[in-house]
Structure formats: structure tokens, C-alpha cells
Structure 1
Amino acid sequence: MREIFLVATALLVISFATAQLSCDAITNGTATVGLPSGKVSQEVEKYEAALFLLLGFGGFSVLLALVYNAIRRHVFRDVSNLDTAFDAGGRVTTSLTAVTVGVQLLWPADLLQSATVTAKYGIAGAFWYSSAVVVNIILFPLLSLQFKTKAPGAKTFLQVVGARFGKGTHIVISCFALMTNITILTCIIIGCTDLFQALIKDSSDEFCVLVMATLFGSYSFVGGLGSTFYVSYFNAFMAFVILAVFVVRIFYVPDDDSLPFGSLDEVYERISCLVGPADNKERSYATFLSVDSLVWMVQGTLVAASVCFCDQAAWQSRIAAKPVQGVLGFFGATFLWFAIPATIGTTTAICYLSFSAGNSTLMLPDSDINAGLVTPYIAQQALGRDGAFMILIMFTMLMMSTGSGEVMGISSIIVYDIFQSYVCPFKSGSRLGHCILCEKVKKEEAADETTRGHHPTMSDVCRCPAVTECAACVEDQEAILATTGFSQQLLRHHCPVHGEYRTYQDALVRLKSWTILGVSLTIVPVGLLIIHSGMDLNWAFMTGCVVTIPCFPGVVLSIVWVKATAKGMVIGSVTGLLCGVTATLARASTLPGGIGDFWVNTSEGYTVMLGSCTSFFVTFIVTIIVSLVTHTIKDEDDVALEWQKVRDIDNPLNPWTNFYLEEFPNLKGNQKPSYHQLEKVFRKAKVTAIVGSIFCLSLFVLIIPSVMASLGVLTSSEFASYVTSMHIWSFVMAAIVIVVTPLEEIRAIWRELQTRKLFRKSTYSQVDKFAERPC
């Protein structure tokens, strides 16, 4: 514990020291600060931001991580387990899953970009922007349920790819996965740097990236993935509270007997005087019949698909819950996520349009609008310094959740898919169906071999006891829980069966900590390179999907289609990438300025839509065609053998069957339920996922848009009703987040304590039973 405090403190000291150095450099004229060119004023002093963000949010997040560690150590007793660092114990509650998925997918860029598209295209912009992401959140439960049923022991989606298709395909898809993580971090770094420099005085590039690195890495280093769940709740709590205060103070509580922008009716009257985009109905900003918004929705859906389905940070947060809780958590996340960007994007953008109507001197330049500065600009105009602090707090909260998730995602790929697979595997050349400890055929596999006509001898069959039935392992685990810090690393494990693997896992736990620290520190030089490259948030957000979307079809097919092959995955993804980039550059070259105006033309709406659609459909079609030609699946035995590859992904110290003891109470030792048994037990979750997906898609893609589009150009009362309904939606979601989530988490902890109390005597008797039994 002492080492944890020292590292966290060191991170904070480094950030403060560098912030002071950059401040001195500015004072001496040896460094330049990239200030926004628009009219967003810098209301926050640099020292205030440093103290507020680093000591306030960073310090409190580290404390939450320590609380989480204490709970895992004294209640769940799995703090020393490697998997716990990346799956938070595998039994995350429904509401905590909903909050974490919703907040980690809610990039700071979402709050900026939702206002940008609304300011450009009208009131439909924020809705279609939010719907593009929501579509992918809605569809993910169906895929994650397949994942949890077929590969319940996997901690990364890349492990499934590696188990099914081998080394070459695993390396290719891993490159795409890391590219996705880098794209997301790029958007976070650019968006947060723009915001920090818009609101904080003398905030250099170095100051911005160091603040981000500290906030991302400190509590992730201390508490692993589980701490991000707790911190995500705190961040969601703060974000909803600030959003509610922001909305109420702008529209519902007069300040000095007047509202900052007037009533909703007055806002509507001013917006009605503006000439909107040419493709909007009657060129009005108050209509859902907006072609540009629909185009953005198409390209936004593909952008969201690449980051939802190919981002390990998203996967690990979603597979940390059991199937039923995970499915319900996703649908809860759908409504939670939609509430924030739709509300703040609509609110700030209509206020901006109203504020600038008839007075062009109040309008922001296009560069600032594309940088996402509409929201902070309106916050300052409405609430002054208080508004600047509110926006800074909200964006910092969301930045922490998303950024730490990416740090954990990259770290899990490094630990599980690089180090454990290629650098230092436990035993190289392990075979399908064989025990990783003794390298003999597993019992259930031996039975299957017998039914196929093969008869392995008794000496060839694995007889390793389950870790829960091993007396030596019970003693080793008690010794681990009785020590902390450096002393724990010096422990020698005595179990002759599991001890060697437990030592290997201890090494991976230490590697995990240093990997998280290394990834966090790497953000500093990489962030500075990104900032100095000249790309803006709009380009990174939109064009990044062209190079990441080729990963999407292969990932989905590897989980749901037994006939997918290694050749299909590699040829499809590489071909899709080349065709998508070519289509993007070809379209950009036809625009004014051609490729010479690279940043603008390659991020133009139709260019991005062409490139991303080409990437997706070429990858999808080529992968299917090549797989159909090259697959070797002939009968049900081949199907069972193919899925057995991913079912065998497991940790013998923490077998996935431990998570399903309630569903399969009759399992003993190393017995595992079959795929069909898992599918039967999770049928309720499957039905829930299908029904919920149909309902949510109908609501967000058909019902609400159809009703609003049928109204044509909204009247003043219709406009006010829609905006008010968005506000009510966010208030309801805020109440659910604030009240339900902590109650459910407290209930889960209480149940675990009661369970341990009830079965303590039986546990002791179990130890006595196996005390004289050789391991």
C-alpha cells in the first residue's frame, strides 16, 4: 500500500513540476501557448486548475481506488488475482455496468461535437449524433452474450481471434485494435487540449497532456479496472448534477429577474430568423428533416461501430458483468448515454444560434466551432466564471473515465495478447483440450475422444485437482491475503500443482502495474506529437474510423460465425483498409483544394461516409467470400471442435466456472458446462437482449424521428416541448444514477459478506477434509 501512495504522489509531483516549468517558460518568452482564435475567454487560473484537477479529482479518484482495493481484499478476497485487475471480479452489478458503459463511451468529444453538429445543421443534429452511438450500444448486448456464452473465460476479444485463427491473424487484428485505442486517445487529447486552453490561462501543451496522463493513470494503477467502475459512478454523478444545474440556471431560474437567453419561446423566435443549411426543410434550424444530419448519422454510426466493437476498453467493461446483468446494463447505458450529449448539445447550440441571431459579431469562427468550443462559449456567456468551472469539471470527469478505460484497454492487450502470448508464455506449444498445468488431456476432452473412437490411457488424462479443492492452494491463498506490499511479492507458493502457475501470475500482476504506469507516461510524448501535427478534433473523430472500421466485421464474425477463417479475416481487413483509404483520398481530391487541403477535404461529410462505407462493406464481403472458400467445417463435430478452442481459454487459478456456480450448482471440481448448457441457462438473457434491442432501436431510430419529422418545421410550442422533454429525460436519468447505483452495490457487498459468514464453517471443514490429501 505504501508503494501505491508513493507512485501516485510521484505522478502528481511530476505534473506540478512540469506545469510550473511550462509556466516559467511562458513568462520568459521561451514557449508559446496555442490559444484559441475565437471569443472563449480564459476564466480559470492555471494554479487553480492544477490544484482543482490534480489534487481534487486525481486525489479523490486514488482514494476511491483504495476503497475498491480494500473491498476486494477483505470482502471478495481476490485482490491479488490478475483477472480481477481487468474484469473487476466478473460480477459487476447491473446499474454499475450501465453507468460505466455509458460514461466510458461518453467521450469529452461527444459533448463538444454534439453541439457542433447542432450549431451547423439545427435541432436535429444533436439527436442524430446521439442516435448514431446509441445504435451500437443497443446492438452490443447480442454480441457480448455470444461472447460470454462461447468464450466465458476470455478477457480480451483478441484472445478469441488468437484461439481460433492463430498467430498471424491475431497479430493483424491486434494492430487494428491498438489503432482503435490510439484513435480514441487522439480524440480525447485534442478535445481536452482545446478545452483546457480555451478556459485555463497560460495552459501550455505540456501542461494539458501531463494533467491528462496523471488523471488517466493514477487510480488505474492503484485499483485496476474495478476502480474505474467506482470512479465512473462518481464522474456520472458529477456530470448529471452539473448538467441539471446548467440547464436549470439557463432556462428555468431567472438571474436578476431575467434568463440569460430569454425563455424557450424567445429563443425560438430568434432562431426562426436565421437562414439554415440548404438541405434543411425550408432552410430552418428547427426541423428534423435535415439531410446533412442524416448523413452525419450514417457516418457517425460507422465511427461508433469501430470504437464500440473494436475497442478493448469497451469490451472489458462489458464482459465484467454476468450475461443477464450485462444485457440489462447495456440498455440502461443506452438511456443514460443519450441523455447527456442530446441534452447539452441541443441546449448550448440553440442558445448559441439564438445569441448570434442578428449580430454576427457574437458568432464564433468556423475553426472554433469545429474545435467544439460552442459549449464552453455559451457556458461563459450565460454563467460567466461559474459556467467555465462547470464545463471544466464535467469534461474532466468524462475525460477521466474514457481515458482510464483506454489505458486499461491497451494494458490488457499488452499483458494478455502480447506478453502472455509471445514474449513469455507459461508453456509454449500448449495444445487444444490439454491442461496447461500438466499438459495432459482434460477429463471432458478424454470423454469426447472416447466417443469419437479414440481411447486415451488413464496416464494420459489430467488429474489436477480444482484450485478450490486443493488444500495447499487454500493455504497459499490465506498466506497471500495475510501479507501486503513488497512482502507479498517474496511469498513462495507451496502447492506442487498450481504453485508454478501462481508464481507466473504474480509476475503478470507486477507487469500489469508497470504496464499501466508505462502507458500513462507514454501519453505525454505521444500527446505532444498529436497536438503539434495540426489535426483538429473533427478530423480525428471522423477520419479515424476509415482506418479502424475494417476490424469491425472480422471481430463480429469471429464470435458469431463458425466458418470464419484466418485467411478471410486477414485478406478482408487489409483489403477493406486499402479500399477505404483509397476511396477517401479519391473523393477528397475532387473537392476544391484537393489533397493539398488535406485536413479539411478528408474530413468532409460525404468523403468520410464514402471511405467508411467502403472500408466496412469491402471488409465484410471479402471476409465472407474468402472464408466460404477456405473453411473446413463439415459436420457438427467440426463445429464443436472450433468453438472448443475459445471455450478452453481459462485461468486455472480463477476458472470461469466459478462465476456460474449459482447457475450450475451440481458442477464439481474441474467440470465445465457445455456450450449448449450455457446457451440454455442464458436463454432468458438472450430473449431480453433481442426484445430490448428491438424496442430501443424502434424508439431511437423509428418512433421519435418519425414523429418529429412528421411535424416538418417545428412551431414554437413543439420546439419548447421537445427541448423540455430532453431536459426531463436528463433529470430522470440523474435521479436513477445517483440513487440506484450505490444501493445496488451496497446490496452486492452485503450479500457477499452474508455468504461468507454462512459458509465459513463449511470452508474450514473443507480445509480439514483435504489437509492430509496430497495435492
Structure 2
Amino acid sequence: MSTTQMNASAPVLSPAVGYGVVLGLGLGFAVVVLAVMKITARHYPEHSATNSSEEYTSASRSLKPGLIASGIVSAATWAATLLQASTVCLVFGLSGPWWYAAGASTQIMAFAQNAIQLKLNAPGAHTFLEVIGLRWGTLSHLSFMFFGLGTNIVLTSQLITGGATTVNALTGMNAIAACFLIPIPVVIYTLVGGLRATFFSDYIHTALIFAIIMVVSFSAFATNPTLGSPAAVYDLLQTAAENYPVGDAAGGSYTTMRSLNGFVFGIVVMISGTATVYMDQTYWQRAVASKASTSVKGYILGGFAFLPVPWMFATAAGLGMISLSAGPVSPFMALSLSEAAFVAPAAMTALLGKSGAILLLIPLFLAVTSAASAELVAVSSIITYDVYKRYFNPHATDKQILWASHVGVLGFGLFMGVLGVIFHEIGISLSWLYGFTGTFAAAGVFPVGLAIRSRRANKNGCLAGLWIGFACGIAAWLGTAKGFGGVVDVTTTGGTYEQLAGNAGSFFIAAIISMTTTFLWPADFDFNITRRKNAFQPEDANAEEHVEKDSDQTSTDEKLSSPMEKESDDVYAKNDASDAVLYKDFILSVWVTVGLFAGLCIFVPAMMVIPRIWSKAGFTFYIVLAFIWTFLAAGIVVIYPVWESRTALWRICRGIFGDLTGRSSS
């Protein structure tokens, strides 16, 4: 190999830059978000997070679809999203980013059905666990809360570990220091601004993410002197396939969909991602915060707009890095499979030099902060409404609820740093955490979906499905690791087939048990109980028994008419659309989800596997399609939120002008 080749995976920035980004940029970003919140609160006092727990934890349930879509894209775009998608591009070729993107996008769209059912059946809910607690009682509530909080902990570990690893890879900054310092600015602006502050940070982060996607994509396929066009990239990829072939892909090619391991990874993405969106309170938080009349629209737009984030970025970065290291005379050294986690940083450095490293570092850091902020609010809501208010202070005042929310944000913010250090020290990778998420949480998908959607859901069957599915998933995961690797350790349990066994075991066993018991022994729950209830706590020791009885039992109705039921008159317990309209939205979401899943995960891949190895024309068409989708997505999550909020923005601008000129009427 030529000695003139450079190692693009080596840090190109100094540790001082790392500390500057983590502390300087982090605190600066916090100041900007807090300033925006202060200005908003001045000209829209009803949106001040210091005055109301509803505003703090659910943004008064008033957010419009464009901002919801932007928030969904931001919440789904962790550091792991960009890093892992680029990694699988090196490992599986172009099939890796496609499966990552298609699987994740359809899950987000599928969650639109949960969002509309939550609005329809429990308009006053703050968490999905509140509905389960009221419907099925304490044992079920505690069981599902274990998996809900566990999912948040695993996802937070991915966030902090991925962020620290990226900063370390690009700057050489101490990873342990990064684990502790990254959460600081997040806690500051989340503690003050609540959920609405999270959405403001989400919008800024999403805009930056699409900016970096545009830059890396045009560099790889248009402006880079070594690459510069899809045709040039294609030719270099054929050279790379000869020198560094993809393990099981057809002809060892990077330009084929015929990779069995890539397909297996796609199944893992679908199951693990579905488990994430069902069991992560972050997604339910956005359903709570949205307007009922537009919640489905927000999730469908968010799913559509998320597709190019892993697809376009990882395709450009991954294939760009592979092309630039295609042979012994290429300018950069090829990355080995053991270095696959560094594909994204290496690609940005190779394509754009130090400016590329900085360009990646900033949005990846903001990806960590914005997603971590969403996790903070989500966990804080569970602590507030499902722990403090349900078990310790059922009659808590709004001030006490707000206090509990602040304590939850601060406490979990401190815990974030500890989580990052733990997983960093024991050597667990992002790929391992990503696969384990599905093994842990997939058992909750069908039970939670039935609890929110179906009055016939069988309590005991769903609870049994949750725990038995989880146990079977763990057994399948560890058993497959032992069978394939001969030993159970971090390396063997992180394999593709081991993760598939764990994910599938949890998901399908829980689905079979919960669906079968519901079909054979259906319940008959009255969702009017959850529709009329804004405070999701039993009012006496027998309340849980009452809510499980038939809807015609007047004792239940009388119980729900107690003095606490006055909360049902609260504006936040009502929807801005009729049940008939919401049901039509639900049907629309089903058709859109099924159609896009069939298109993205079945029809398009079926067409793409027809050629054994793609032609240059086919590859060029694929890249052009990715560009078109990226531009459309950017319009949805960057331009559309500004357009739909134009009236409010104009009011704020007039207010600021009035403040500056002394003509303010406020």
C-alpha cells in the first residue's frame, strides 16, 4: 500500500475544539433557545413555561403539524442515526442506508395511528402509561413503566455514548469528560423552557441537519475533485469491490441490493425501531403536544421527511469514503470493518477536510442535545404523572406538578452523564445498543397498541405477553449468541443474527399471546372513562376494579363524576376536532402507513434486487431520486413550519419593534 495514503479516521481537530463545541457551543445554543423562549413568553404570555405545568410538559397541546414534523425528525435523528447508517453502508453497501431509512420512516408514520387514538380515547393524557394505569391497574402500570423507562435509559445511553464517541473521534477530547459535559446545556434550557423549548431546539437542529446533508451530498456527487459525479463514484465503487469486497453481497459489490445480511439488518431496524416509537415516551409526548386535528398530518410529514436523513447522508458519506479509498493508489486508506463506526467522521474529513470535521461535529452535537432534551421531558413526565402524582400526591396542585417536572429534568439530566460513562467504560458500541433496544422493548409493541386502541384488549393476556415475550427474546438472543459464537459476550451478542433472534423473539411471542387472548377472551372497556378523565389516578382503592367493569355500570360513572372530575372541564382535556373527523384521520393514517410500507420495504427493494449488480445508469437514477426526496423533505421541515407560523412570527416581530422603539402596548 502506498505510504502517501492518509488516514481519514484520525482526529483532525484539537481537543480544545472539542471542549469549545461541547461547552461554548452548548451553552451558546442554550442561551439562544432561552432568549427565544423569553421573547415568545413576552408576546404570548399563555406560552410561558413558568406559569403552567400543561405548558411545561405538553406545550398546551397547541403545536402545528410542520413543527411537529420537524420535532419528529429531530427526535429520530440521534448521533447514532448518522453514524450507524454510515457504518452499515460500509458493511452492507448501499442496501444498508436504504433499509435503515425505509424501516425507520414507516415506523414513524405507523405511530400516527397511536397519536390519533390517544387524542380520540384519552385527550387529557400526558403519558401513554397513564392510560394503562387507569385501565388495567397498578400491576400493569408498574410493569409497562419498567419497560418504558428502560427504553428511555437505553436510548439515552445511545445518545450520550454516540455523542462522546463522535467528539472523541474528531477532536481527541476525553470521552468521559464529554459524557458529563454534554448534558449540561441541555438541562439548562429544558429546565427553564420545558417541551416548547425542546421544539425550538428541534427546529434549529433539523435545519442544520439538512444543511449538512446538502453539503456532503453535493461534495460527493458533484463538486469533489476526485469524485464529482454519480458516474465517477460508481466506477470507483467497482474498483473498491475488487479490493475490499462486501462480505455476502453479490459479486462483493457496493452497488447491489443482494445482501442477505443487509436484508436481515433491515428486519432488525423495523422491529427495533417499532419498539422504540411505541415504548419511548418521547414520541407520545409529541402526540400529546400536537393539535388533535393535525396530529396525523404531523407524523406522516415527519416520517416522509425523515427518510433522506439516514438514506441520503449515509449514501453520500459512506459511498464517498469507500470511493476515496477504493485502491492502493487512492488518496485515503481504506477503513477496516473494525473501524466501521468511524465512517461518517472519516468521510467528512476526506471530502471536506477540517471544515468537514467541524461541519459534522456541530450538528451531531446538536443532535445529541436536542434528542436528549426530548428524553429529559419524556422521563420527567413519567416521573411527574406516573410516579409522583399517581402514587405520592394524587391531589397535587399545578405548582407542585411543575416542581416535580423540574426535579425530574434535573435528576435525569445528572443521570445521563453517569449512563454515558458506564457504557463507554464497559465497551458497548452504538450497534450493540441499537440491536438491544428491540430485544428489550419489542415485547411492549402489541400490548401497548391494544391498550390504547382496542376496548377488547385482554388485560391478563397483554401483561403475560409483555413479560413472556421479553423473556423469550432474551433467551433467543443469548442462545443464538452461544450457538453462533460459542460464547456469550459483548462481541457475540452484537451480531446481526443474534440481534434478529432477540428482536423477533420479543416481538412475535408478545404479539401472539396478546392477540390470541384478546380474540378468545375479549374485554369490553369503556373508553369514555379515559375520555372524561383528565387526572389519571384512581380516587379510591376500588377505582381500578370499577374501570374494568362493563360500561353500563353506573357506579363507575358516578365515581368519575367525583370532585376531581372537574378537571375534565380543562381546555387541555378537549380536542379541536370531532370524533368523526379523528376517526377519518385514523383511517387515512392506516392507508398511508400500509401503502408506504409496501412501497418502501417491499415493492422498491423487490425492484432493486432484480439486477444482480446495478448499472451506472441505475445507480445515477438512484442518487438523483435521493436528491429530489431530500429537497422535498427540507421544504417540509425547514420552510413549512415558518410558513404555518407566519402570523405568530409577524406578531412577535411587531412586538420586538415596538419594544425597541418604545411603542409597545404590552
TM bucket normalised to smaller: 0.7 to 0.9
User: Which residue of 2 is the match for residue 699 of structure 1?
Assistant: 599
Contact 2:534 2:567 in 1 (8 A): no
Alpha-carbon separation, structure 1, partners of 2:411 and 2:625 = 45
- 1:370-409 CA-to-partner distances (Å, cap 9, x unmatched) read xx21011011112111011011012112112211111111
Alpha-carbon separation, structure 1, partners of 2:466 and 2:573 = 34
C-alpha deviation, 1:627, in angstroms: 4.7
User: Which residue of 2 is the match for residue 416 of structure 1?
Assistant: 385
Alpha-carbon separation, structure 2, partners of 1:748 and 1:655 = 27
Contact 1:567 1:630 in 2 (8 A): no
Equivalent of 1:196 in 161, 164, 167: 167
Equivalent of 2:361 in 392, 410, 416: 392
Q: How does 1:115-264 map to 2 (within 5 A)?
A: 115-201=86-172, 203-254=173-224, 259-264=225-230
State whether structure 2 residue 238 is matched by structure 1 residue 272: yes
Moved more, 164-173 or 131-140: 131-140
User: Which residue of 1 is the match for residue 17 of structure 2?
Assistant: 48
User: Which residue of 2 is the match for residue 747 of structure 1?
Assistant: 647
Contact 1:567 1:627 in 2 (8 A): no
Equivalent of 2:513 in 619, 622, 636: 622
- 1:507-564 CA-to-partner distances (Å, cap 9, x unmatched) read 1212211221121112122221121112111111112321111122211110122232
Q: Give the counterpart letter for 2:85 in structure 1.
A: S
Alpha-carbon separation, structure 1, partners of 2:575 and 2:393 = 32
C-alpha deviation, 1:249, in angstroms: 2.9
Q: Closer, same or farther in 2 for the Cα pair 1:253/1:516, shift >3 Å?
A: same
State whether structure 2 residue 482 is matched by structure 1 residue 589: yes
- 1:45-88 CA-to-partner distances (Å, cap 9, x unmatched) read 33333333433343233332342354246425253111111111
| Runs of at least 5 residues in structure 2 that lack an aligned partner in the other structure | 1-6, 536-564, 655-666
C-alpha deviation, 1:237, in angstroms: 1.0
User: Which residue of 2 is the match for residue 451 of structure 1?
Assistant: none
Q: What is the TM-score with the length of structure 1 in the denominator? A: 0.75
Contact 1:169 1:569 in 2 (8 A): no
- 1:469-510 CA-to-partner distances (Å, cap 9, x unmatched) read xxxxxxxxxxxxxxxxxxxxxxxxxxxxxxxx6xx2101212
Moved more, 187-196 or 62-71: 62-71
Contact 1:153 1:655 in 2 (8 A): no
Alpha-carbon separation, structure 2, partners of 1:351 and 1:136 = 28
Q: Give the counterpart letter for 2:73 in structure 1.
A: G
Q: What is the TM-score with the length of structure 2 in the denominator? A: 0.87
| DSSP 3-state at the match of 1:88 | helix
| Runs of at least 5 residues in structure 1 that lack an aligned partner in the other structure | 1-37, 427-500, 634-638, 664-677, 755-775
Contact 1:161 1:169 in 2 (8 A): yes
| DSSP 3-state at the match of 2:484 | coil
User: Which residue of 2 is the match for residue 65 of structure 1?
Assistant: 34
Contact 2:59 2:195 in 1 (8 A): yes
C-alpha deviation, 1:631, in angstroms: 5.3
State whether structure 2 residue 307 is matched by structure 1 residue 307: no
| DSSP 3-state at the match of 2:208 | helix
Q: Closer, same or farther in 2 for the Cα pair 1:661/1:699, shift >3 Å?
A: closer
Q: Give the counterpart letter for 2:220 in structure 1.
A: I
- 1:296-322 CA-to-partner distances (Å, cap 9, x unmatched) read 111111110111110001110132112
Equivalent of 1:512 in 400, 405, 417: 405
User: Which residue of 2 is the match for residue 339 of structure 1?
Assistant: 308
User: Which residue of 2 is the match for residue 373 of structure 1?
Assistant: 342
C-alpha deviation, 1:741, in angstroms: 1.3
User: Which residue of 2 is the match for residue 349 of structure 1?
Assistant: 318
Q: Closer, same or farther in 2 for the Cα pair 1:236/1:632, shift >3 Å?
A: closer
Alpha-carbon separation, structure 1, partners of 2:237 and 2:350 = 17
Q: Give the counterpart letter for 2:534 in structure 1.
A: I
User: Which residue of 2 is the match for residue 496 of structure 1?
Assistant: none
Alpha-carbon separation, structure 1, partners of 2:274 and 2:647 = 34
Contact 1:93 1:748 in 2 (8 A): no
| DSSP 3-state at the match of 2:179 | helix
Alpha-carbon separation, structure 1, partners of 2:83 and 2:643 = 32
User: Which residue of 2 is the match for residue 716 of structure 1?
Assistant: 616
Contact 1:152 1:656 in 2 (8 A): no
- 1:390-439 CA-to-partner distances (Å, cap 9, x unmatched) read 1101211211221111111111110010000112221xxxxxxxxxxxxx
Contact 1:99 1:333 in 2 (8 A): yes
- 1:256-275 CA-to-partner distances (Å, cap 9, x unmatched) read xxx14353222212211315
Q: Closer, same or farther in 2 for the Cα pair 1:652/1:320, shift >3 Å?
A: farther
Q: How does 1:474-485 map to 2 (within 5 A)?
A: none
C-alpha deviation, 1:323, in angstroms: 2.8
Contact 2:281 2:379 in 1 (8 A): yes
Identical residues among aligned pairs (%): 24
Q: Give the counterpart letter for 2:118 in structure 1.
A: F
Alpha-carbon separation, structure 2, partners of 1:688 and 1:627 = 25
Q: Closer, same or farther in 2 for the Cα pair 1:517/1:662, shift >3 Å?
A: closer
Q: Closer, same or farther in 2 for the Cα pair 1:73/1:654, shift >3 Å?
A: farther
Would you say how many aligned residue pairs link Structure 1 and Structure 2?
Answer: 612
Alpha-carbon separation, structure 2, partners of 1:404 and 1:728 = 31
- 1:731-770 CA-to-partner distances (Å, cap 9, x unmatched) read 332244332212212335669999xxxxxxxxxxxxxxxx
CA-atom RMSD in angstroms: 2.5
Q: How does 1:353-364 map to 2 (within 5 A)?
A: 353-359=322-328, 362-364=333-335
Alpha-carbon separation, structure 1, partners of 2:247 and 2:270 = 23
C-alpha deviation, 1:654, in angstroms: 7.9
| DSSP 3-state at the match of 2:60 | coil
Q: Closer, same or farther in 2 for the Cα pair 1:608/1:735, shift >3 Å?
A: same
C-alpha deviation, 1:106, in angstroms: 1.3
Q: Closer, same or farther in 2 for the Cα pair 1:629/1:646, shift >3 Å?
A: farther
C-alpha deviation, 1:199, in angstroms: 0.8
| DSSP 3-state at the match of 1:591 | helix
Q: Closer, same or farther in 2 for the Cα pair 1:78/1:679, shift >3 Å?
A: same
Equivalent of 1:102 in 73, 76, 88: 73
Contact 1:268 1:719 in 2 (8 A): yes
Alpha-carbon separation, structure 2, partners of 1:425 and 1:746 = 40
C-alpha deviation, 1:629, in angstroms: 6.2
Alpha-carbon separation, structure 2, partners of 1:384 and 1:750 = 40
Contact 1:562 1:643 in 2 (8 A): no
Q: Give the counterpart letter for 1:119 in structure 2.
A: L
Alpha-carbon separation, structure 1, partners of 2:523 and 2:594 = 34
Contact 2:217 2:317 in 1 (8 A): no
- 1:5-58 CA-to-partner distances (Å, cap 9, x unmatched) read xxxxxxxxxxxxxxxxxxxxxxxxxxxxxxxxx852222233333333433343
C-alpha deviation, 1:91, in angstroms: 1.3
- 1:220-245 CA-to-partner distances (Å, cap 9, x unmatched) read 11100111111111111111112212
Q: Closer, same or farther in 2 for the Cα pair 1:661/1:381, shift >3 Å?
A: closer
| DSSP 3-state at the match of 1:285 | coil
User: Which residue of 1 is the match for residue 529 of structure 2?
Assistant: 644
State whether structure 2 residue 57 is matched by structure 1 residue 86: yes
Alpha-carbon separation, structure 2, partners of 1:632 and 1:728 = 48
C-alpha deviation, 1:660, in angstroms: 5.0
Moved more, 297-306 or 528-537: 528-537
